[in-house]
Amino acid sequence: MSLNPLRNIPSVSELLENPKLKGLVDRISHNAVVDTVRTVLDEMRGEVQNAVGEKTLPNVAELAERIARRVMETESLGLRPVINATGILLHTGLGRAPLAEESIAEMNAVARDYASLEIDLAGGKRSRRSLAVEPLLKELTGCEAALVVNNNAGATMLVLAALGWGKEVIVSRGQLIEIGGSFRLPDVMALSGAILREVGTTNKTHLADYASAIGEQTAALMLVHPSNYLVQGFAESVELPALVELGKKHRLPVIHDIGSGALIDFAQFGLPGEPMAKQSLADGADVVLFSGDKLIGGPQCGIILGRKAAIEKIQKHPFARALRVDKLTLAALAATLRLYRDEEKAKLDVPLLRLLGTSPENLKNRAERLAPQIAAVKKAVAAAEAVQDITYLGGGSIPTQQLCTWCIAVTPAGMTVDRLAAVLRAGTPAVVGRIRQDRLLLDLRSVFPRQDVDLVAAVEALGAE
């Protein structure tokens, strides 16, 4: 009969004396390390008690190593910067659009101090927080009034609740979208309290379908831009001007969810068909909704533009308070919008537009320059070459909207491609690429030139291990 093996498990204080864990206490926090030590020791006791035969215990050094790894894993769960080498420019998992320097500077300025968020400094009276961006949105789109909320899903919910609660909102069956995550228009509508009145069929909806659904119960007509899919072939949908005319005849507002919210024409980047906020308003939509962090390239938010009376009604709904944005979002959005006063300046200074506008020759040159540097990391890389490929905008864009790009295709040495991808993801800076067959593609379409050095360094760090 051996001694009780639980007695051989080291104590918390013994483990904390280990140099590795001592270092982590200094670098991270005493509590974080002690918590992890306790958790791991509890697990160890459980394992010993449940063991069928004799259980060999790790020695103190091995145990400390295990605990240190766990502490580091927990630390890395926080938000960290990432080099986006996926090629997807508006990757929702990677935070969509990176912000312009002008936006960062403006956020910094109002973050450190108090800000005139709801005070009119000239008159000393209380004001609305959306006034920080409303004049700019008027100037850029021709809207009468504007409101900014947490995101476009929130904007949709709020607008439907404010304008359609307990009544019917008419939508084409071809536009009952799911955006991803848990955003499904019929569900959002149900939660808002508006009653969905579906008209037409999946592939065809005519103006007469809307017209015959209008009745006493109708509160609004809604048009949704199907940003992430395409109904092709025997298909027909009603255009905004025709729906506006019908709405006018029946004194019903028309709500237009344009999704990505272009402020300039994206056909110049090879992405035709993106509805522009200005055009939608010019065509007569009463309320227009879109995201701030898609094609505008600003912070996450939902922008609601429209007629003064409609916006006032929306503003007064209690959801508006629940979905409101903070001073940082407004500061970042205002600075991004200001760049659009000059389209050429926007194309240079809005990071999303700069990445979109990078020429294939530029990407090719960089890929050809970086590939040999990456191939030189012999310990981790068997081969690396520049390859041409196609990529997508992301964030709810349609599969036909392709962008040409250049990548560095990396064949790993001594490990699987999944392992290579995982190690790069866990590195500092983290690098996320995309796997194609047995190679990891590092796509330069979504990498800033200033990150090229870091990209190579991240691969070199693998060789040093």
Ligand X SMILES: *Cc1c(COP(=O)(O)O)cnc(C)c1O
Q: Which residues bind ligand X (CB under 6 A)?
A: 151-153, 156, 177, 179, 183, 224-225, 227, 257, 259-260, 291, 302, 396
| Tokens 């006034």 -> residue | 131
d(C-alpha 213, C-alpha 196), whole Å? 11
Q: Could you tell me if residue 436 is left (phi over 0), alpha (psi between -120 and 50 degrees) or otherwise beta?
A: beta
Closer to ligand X by Cβ: residue 179 or 337: 179
H or E, element range at 308:
helix 308-316
Dihedral over Cα of 442, 375, 428, 365: its sign: negative
| Minimum gap (Å) between residue 175 Cβ and ligand X | 9
Closer to ligand X by Cβ: residue 332 or 381: 332
Closer to ligand X by Cβ: residue 280 or 291: 291
Length of the chain: 465
Pairing of strands 381-392, 254-259: unpaired
d(C-alpha 439, C-alpha 119), whole Å? 56
d(C-alpha 20, C-alpha 36), whole Å? 14
| Minimum gap (Å) between residue 92 Cβ and ligand X | 7
| Minimum gap (Å) between residue 93 Cβ and ligand X | 12
d(C-alpha 430, C-alpha 455), whole Å? 9
Give the residue nearest to ligand X (CB).
259
Closer to ligand X by Cβ: residue 130 or 151: 151
Of the candidates 463, 440, 438, 465, the one whose C-alpha atom is nearest the C-alpha of residue 373 is 463
Query: C-alpha angle with apex 22: 18 to 25, nearest 5 degrees?
Result: 145
Closer to ligand X by Cβ: residue 303 or 423: 303
| Tokens 């008159």 -> residue | 123
d(C-alpha 17, C-alpha 83), whole Å? 37
| Minimum gap (Å) between residue 187 Cβ and ligand X | 12
Q: What are phi and psi of 147, to 5 degrees?
A: -145, 140
| Minimum gap (Å) between residue 188 Cβ and ligand X | 9
Alpha helices in 165-213 (DSSP H): 185-192, 207-213
| Minimum gap (Å) between residue 289 Cβ and ligand X | 7
Closer to ligand X by Cβ: residue 83 or 153: 153
Closer to ligand X by Cβ: residue 180 or 270: 180
| Minimum gap (Å) between residue 395 Cβ and ligand X | 6
| Minimum gap (Å) between residue 12 Cβ and ligand X | 45
| Tokens 């021709």 -> residue | 142
Closer to ligand X by Cβ: residue 175 or 451: 175
